[in-house]
Amino acid sequence: MSGIASVVSTASGLMWLAVLPPGPRLIDQVDQPMPRNSDPIIVVGVLASDTLIRQPVPMRSDPTYPLQLRQIIVHVENVLRGSQIPKTITVYYFGFAGGFDGPRPLGQWNVGCRRIFRLRRDSGALRTVCDGWDCTQPVGTGSHPSYKPDPQKPLDYAFVDLLCTRGEGAINEHTFGWGLDEVGDQVQGL
């Protein structure tokens, strides 16, 4: 009986692997520089899911290091830069599949968190402007449903507004405090 159960279990696992979506054909950008303020799409959104699409993927700059292609679903609350962005978007990124040593890696978040996502289009899909290391920012000040950036001011003003102004709904006091601390980076550009 246990032999049959393991065959069924293995067979169902293989069927599950066979139906995994292949994802778009993307190349990781782990070691690529990110010029400041060059992100074509910037949104504030709530992370609805984070799913493994493909693993392992060898890192372009070091093929011995494994990455994983992941897909997130984001419910967009505010569009800070870009146009024709739907209320729910699918975004791809490469995360580390092994150990790491350095700053916070991309993908170290919880479903339901609110973040600023910097995105670009690639191979017909939306993806984060970075891979590996985190280029998103948590927004612990709640939802800002009617917020729109002032087109006459630099985008840094919008970051300061969102990270320093209490919005609606639950507010994470720890993340709110972290946002106030981090806002110094945006203020320098004003």
% of the chain exceeding 90 in pLDDT: 54
d(CA 35, CA 52): 28
CA 117 and chain centroid, separation? 6
pLDDT tens profile 107-157? 989 999 999 999 999 999 999 999 999 999 999 899 999 999 999 999 989
The predicted pLDDT at position 99 comes to: 76
pLDDT tens profile 90-110? 999 999 998 777 788 899 899
Q: Which domains does the chain possess?
A: 20-138 (2.40.50), 140-190 (no CATH)
d(CA 5, CA 52): 26
How many other C-beta atoms can be found within 10 angstroms of the C-beta atom of residue 20? Answer: 11
Q: Which of 156, 155, 177 is nearest to 166 (CA)?
A: 177
% of the chain exceeding 70 in pLDDT: 78
